[in-house]
Amino acid sequence: MWIAALLAVTLLGSVGVMLTPDRYAGKVAAAVSAVPALASVYMYYVFLTRNGGAGNALLSPEGVAFGQQIPWIDLAGYSISYYVGLDGVSMPLLTLTTVLTTLAIVSAWTPISERQSQFYGLMLLMEVSLIGVFAALDFFLWFVFWEGVLIPMYFLIGVWGGPRRKYAAIKFFVYTNVASLVMFAGLFALVFNTDLTSLSLPAMAEAFRNASELPEIAGVGLATISFVLMFVGFAVKVPVFPLHTWLPDAHVEAPTPVSVMLAGVLLKMGTYALLRFNFTMLAETARALAIPLAIVGVVSVIYGAMLALAQRDLKRIVAYSSISSMGYVILGLVAFTPHGMGGATFQMVAHGLISGLMFMTVGVIYNTTHTRMVGDMSGLADRMPWTVGIFVAAAFGYMGLPLMAGFAAEFLIFQGAFNAASLGSAAPLLTSLAMFGIVIVAGYLLWAMQRTLFGGFHLETDYEVGPAAFHDVAPLAVLLLLVIVLGVAPDLSYDMIQHAIAPLTGGGA
């Protein structure tokens, strides 16, 4: 009942906020979003202390925490149910979603001044779908939530975004919707060639376990074709090179709170789905294609970092760095080792916190200076000490500073991938190339900070620059604290992640 309560409270809250007068909408939305945030933190605590040994929800459904299954409909011979539950992979991501939504809503109090009730209502409606994506264990239910995310995100970018908001919103919608169709075709090619009678994800995982025995098409195994189609569909959402071009436009035009959710949570939908579908249901095929997939991940790391190095807009710098960071997740997943896959999952959480913090900090700077262009401003450290201090800390977290979550995630991925059997003799080379991405990250972030934050104060506008308001800085401080806590004590998430991915790697926690 816990997950149903989260969905119900958030959905009803979104409707209520849309009916609230604008002057109260932000505060009411923050109060509503705090309910699922606090509830998910409590669920996280219960899972950590009482259910830490639960297995992967798709391979050992009896180990699902907070599970609930209610028969729903029979569709074309397939039974569909309201089936939800959490394991060590989905629990941290669900908590990330609820906490980040609350902080993003609070960060919107300053920049959002028009149609506030609709804006905050759509933010909560997006949270409903995100909770469902990470909790659903029936494909039909999962797909409803998966597609449901597109609707509020389209309007949040298209209505409250920048000058090219309509172009960015349409591009986002077209890319992700077409990707969903490609993924759907790949998955149901498998469904129609098995004797499945249920669309529950555990049933699919069991049915696809011997996918290598399925027929061939033009000499290529159906499992391979389906895997590639599903990978392409999910890779658009991640995104990885060369399917990334929608992301910078969406980030630049979206209002800052929406960019926070886009980088912090929506990108994790793609990597989460890759882990759940491609690397769980078609593990044999994933191992066979490990080297090409690892190359895609490494190219994304280097290419995203190089593109970030060429940008002058702070938002574009952070946007392209997200492409680079998601490449590490791909590399960790294809390693098929406990630390590789565990580190990749931990990177989803760590990057969600750090990228959300970076975008939120850039937003606070923009609210004060009305520019994001490197070179238009300098010396902000004297005028906005708290904001700049947190920005510097977040940037070093992105660079992998020890005792911060980013370091733990990247270290685990590199350790797991360096001698991965799935990558054979190419493992050390691919891992070393990916590690070089950190050097490029340091280059563009240090350059951007030196130009904008330090030196003599300069701003090419007439706006007065001073310390940000408390409600702007408070969400930054909370996110930074979470980044440090997970860096100092990664076992708060890593233990439960290891229990969940152990059945995939064939090893213990």
Dump pLDDT digits (tens) for 86-133: 988 999 999 999 999 999 999 998 888 889 999 999 999 999 999 999
pLDDT for the residue numbered 54: 63
pLDDT for the residue numbered 73: 87
Mean pLDDT for the stretch of residues 378-406: 89
Mean pLDDT for the stretch of residues 218-226: 82
Nearest to 358 by CA among 391, 387, 385, 381: 391
% of the chain at pLDDT higher than 70? 96
User: Tens of pLDDT along 424-451?
Assistant: 888 999 999 999 888 888 888 888 888 8
Nearest to 274 by CA among 219, 311, 327, 199: 327
pLDDT for the residue numbered 373: 82
Answer whether residue 504 shows pLDDT above 90: no
Strands 65-75 and 78-86: antiparallel
Residue 421: which pLDDT band, with cuts at 50, 70 and 90? confident
Answer whether residue 31 shows pLDDT above 90: yes
- Under a CB-based contact definition with an 8 Å cutoff, are residues 427 and 418 in contact? yes
pLDDT for the residue numbered 509: 40
pLDDT for the residue numbered 508: 42
Mean pLDDT for the stretch of residues 146-167: 91
Burial pattern 237-248, b for ≥16 Cβ within 10 A else e, equals bbbbbebbebbb
pLDDT for the residue numbered 442: 85
- Tokens at 131, concatenated: 């909770």
Give the CA count within 13 Å in the CB-facing half-sphere of 200. Answer: 22
% of the chain at pLDDT higher than 90? 53
User: Tens of pLDDT along 279-309?
Assistant: 998 888 899 999 999 999 999 999 988 888 8
Quote the CA–CA distance of 360 and 376 in Å, as a whole number: 19
Mean pLDDT for the stretch of residues 223-232: 92
Mean pLDDT for the stretch of residues 328-340: 93
Which burial class, exposed, middle or buried, applies to 192 when counting CB atoms under 10 A from its CB (0-12, 13-18, 19+)? exposed
- Angle 487-488-492 from CA coordinates, rounded to 5°: 80
Answer whether residue 179 shows pLDDT above 70: yes
Mean pLDDT for the stretch of residues 148-175: 91
pLDDT for the residue numbered 91: 94
Amino acid identity of residue 178, one-letter, is V
Answer whether residue 52 shows pLDDT above 60: no
Q: Between 142 and 381, where is the model more confident? A: 142
Q: Torsions phi, psi of 74, nearest 5?
A: -105, 125
Cis amide leading into 111 (omega within 30): no
Kindly report which listed range (247-256, 407-416, 482-491) carries the lowest average pLDDT score: 247-256
Which residue has tokens 């077209």? 174
Residue 53: which pLDDT band, with cuts at 50, 70 and 90? low
User: Tens of pLDDT along 347-374?
Assistant: 999 999 999 999 999 999 888 888 888 8
User: Tens of pLDDT along 315-328?
Assistant: 888 888 888 889 99
